[in-house]
Structure 1
């Protein structure tokens, strides 16, 4: 049931991933789920770049070097985390948004569509037993130095994915009544 799937969606981080590879067909299925997100004026602004194998190592090196170049007092633990997390993932999908060249809708609506595409991916991963999370470090502003971005395209973050062994703890949310006002 979809409600249970939504309730069981969690962030699962690279430190929790095991070494089990993610099949290309499974990644394709996850990406296909993204394409069914709502999109105003059918702009379909989501764009994805899949990193596997050596590309993950290169991403880690790129991020750690950019961090050291742009941080006045880089923290060693952060350099190490930026370097190691990509290697731990079964796959990383760079989440990008292609701005409608006609700017026929506000940019926030296209960002919202991309976020809904990522939610579809997240729910698909949850159903498939693949852990994932959306990382959006400040370093994403430099991603056009790492891979080619089309005119009007920008990186919004990374979707880390990996299988995991540990049980993911349940979480709670405050009551919906605390967040809703009914108007009649």
Structure 2
């Protein structure tokens, strides 16, 4: 590995909407390797706050059914949950062969600010995403507006928060780079 290779990999990472995924199955061993790479993200106090729930195969429809039941109950209790957002959420599970629920396992001793734990989980996701790119996979991270209603569907503990879902699959077409504004516009040097 050299700087040129990692730079190229970072620039090739893309967000591919699930509507462009095909039906090709993602091998379980590959998913495990991606998550293992996520496990090496930096974090303070060795809290390793990332947790993952892998939803694939027939488990996708079962999970969507559980979510819909949970959301219907929340709506009965006054929650404002737009039906179109629920349908879009379900569509992601139908289009992507794998969904990984991203969970922040917050330090129960509160030794760190919550944002640091969330940042560590985000770095784990970046490791997974870059690894997926290197393996030829596409990824899409989505956080539905009703994410706070999914605690029981994901078996969350009181100290855990869902940060959305990383959908993984193979895309039917490559996505071009959308580019970035020059880094010079984002740096202040104090020498």
Q: What TM-score, normalized by structure 1, do the two folds share?
A: 0.92
Structure 1: give runs of 5+ residues left out of the alignment: none
Alignment of 1:1-80 (within 5 A): 1-64=5-68, 66=71, 69=75, 70-71=79-80, 74=82, 77-80=84-87
Asked whether the 8 Å contact 1:91–1:162 carries over to 2, the reply is: yes
| Residue 177 of structure 2 corresponds to residue 170 of structure 1 | yes
Deviations 1:67-124 (A, max 9, x none): 893337x45x544322221011110000001111111111111000000000000000
Q: How does 1:142-181 map to 2 (within 5 A)?
A: 142-181=149-188
Q: Is the 8 A contact 1:17 1:162 kept in 2?
A: yes
Q: Which moved more, 1:165-174 or 1:31-40?
A: 165-174
Q: 1:46 offset after TM fit, Å?
A: 0.2
Query: Which secondary structure does the structure 2 equivalent of 1:125 belong to?
Result: helix
Q: What is the DSSP-based 3-state SS (H/G/I as helix, E as strand, rest coil) of the residue aligned with 1:80? A: helix
Paired residues in the alignment total 182
Deviation at 1:13, TM superposition (A): 1.4
What is the TM-score with the length of structure 2 in the denominator?
0.88
Q: Distance in 2 between matches of 1:26 and 1:132?
A: 14
Aligned equivalent of 1:124, options 114, 124, 131: 131
